[in-house]
A and B are shown apart, each in its own frame.
Chain A
Amino acid sequence: MDAQLRRGILEVCVLTALCEGESYGYQIIKDISPYIAMSESTLYPILKRLESSGALTVTSREHNGRLRKYYAITPAGRRRITSFLTEWEDVTRAYDYIRSASHTVSEGGTIYE
């Protein structure tokens, strides 16, 4: 997948994982992993970007004698998901078109055989 596209999708996935309530790094990875692969090295810059753009807020709280960072989605973050879904409808339409024409793609390759 194109890196820019993947990054955009992952950002919205992280925000979606926070829709049900606040969460922490490892839990976010676990929630997303059945749908798209993500490691801490990818998550860290994404969380930083989302925080600086105001899509989420961070609070540190004690957990089992250590500090753990909890991330919560903001109204701006929710708007980001909504606009992603709207924009994605165009992509889905294009995908359906490509998919419906896929038999001509493979047939085209066999003409000269």
Chain B
Amino acid sequence: MTRDEFLAALTHRLGYLPYGEVKKTVDFYREAIADRMEDGMTEAEAVAALGSLDEIVREIEMNLPLSTVVKTRVDDARERAREKKETESGGTRAFKILFLLLTCPIWGSLLIAGVAVVLSLLITLFSIVFALAVTAVALIASGLAMAVAAFIVPYPSMAPRLMLSGIGLVITALGFVFVFAAMVMGKAVSGSVRFTGKTVKKAILRGKGAAS
């Protein structure tokens, strides 16, 4: 494969990405080929040394931010729909729309249920973290208030003051345990959200591969 053929194929494969992204990538590989040729390789050898086009495209796609992947996927679907509109007859399209409308109670409710389950799981996880954090703040604040108030309130002797301030400090310490629990839980939640994002991205990319 010549350099121009390789770069044209790469441009074509990445055609659905934003222009700037494609240009940067193609420039990088053009430079890589030129550097290898300067080092004594022939053009064909330099192109072959870069590895397979599939591998290159896969690496690029897997490192794209999720927002870019979703945007290009939506644009892709829109483009395909436009192409279909041009090739399909009016009758087929009307039938498809009718079919989708008639089956809407089935797939619509399933879709809503799926989204609702994912959303409620996320809300539950976030509310656990929120509850832990609020409990921590309440315990620390009330514990400290109790420890200080024990010396302000006019008790007849020192004993109740010491006992109350001691209890106050224990409550404060318990508050810090809750701070720790909230941090651990927060980390777990953000980890699981990141994992979900990654899974969605992989699914979208796989879908794109199957569709094209």
Contact = CB atoms under 8 A, between A and B. Distances in A.
Interface string B18-40: 00000001011101101110110
A99 interface: no
Interface in A14-67: 24-27, 39-42, 44-45, 48-49, 64, 66-67
B60 A25 contact: no
B65 to A, nearest CB: 10
B50 A26 contact: no
Contacts of B55: 39, 41
B59 A25 contact: no
Given A25-B28, A45-B59, A40 B51 contact: yes
A41 B59 contact: yes
A79 interface: no
B31 A25 contact: yes
Contacts of B63: 45, 48-49
Given A45-B59, A45-B60, A25 B35 contact: yes
B56 interface: yes
Interface of A is mostly: helix
Interface string A60-79: 00001011110000000000
A49 B64 CA distance: 10
A51 to B, nearest CB: 11
Interface range for B:
10 to 19
Given A39-B50, A41-B59, A42-B59, A69 B39 contact: no
Instruction: Bin chain A's interface residue count.
Output: 10 to 19
A27 B35 CA distance: 9
Contacts of B56: 40-41
A69 B23 CA distance: 14
A41 B29 CA distance: 9
Contacts of A49: 63
A25 B32 contact: yes
A63 B7 CA distance: 20
Contact of B28 (A27, A42, A66, A69): A69
B38 A64 contact: yes
Contact of A41 (B36, B38, B39, B51): B51
Interface of B: 25, 27-29, 31-32, 34-36, 38-39, 50-51, 55-56, 59-60, 62-63
Given A24-B35, A45-B60, A68-B31, 6 more contacts: A25-B31, A26-B31, A40-B56, A41-B50, A44-B25, A45-B59
20 contacts: A25-B31, A26-B31, A26-B32, A26-B35, A39-B51, A40-B29, A41-B50, A41-B55, A41-B60, A44-B25, A44-B28, A44-B29, A45-B62, A48-B63, A49-B63, A64-B38, A66-B34, A67-B27, A68-B35, A69-B28
Per CB-CB distance, the 5 closest pairs between chain A and chain B, nearest first, are A26-B35, A45-B63, A41-B56, A41-B59, A40-B32
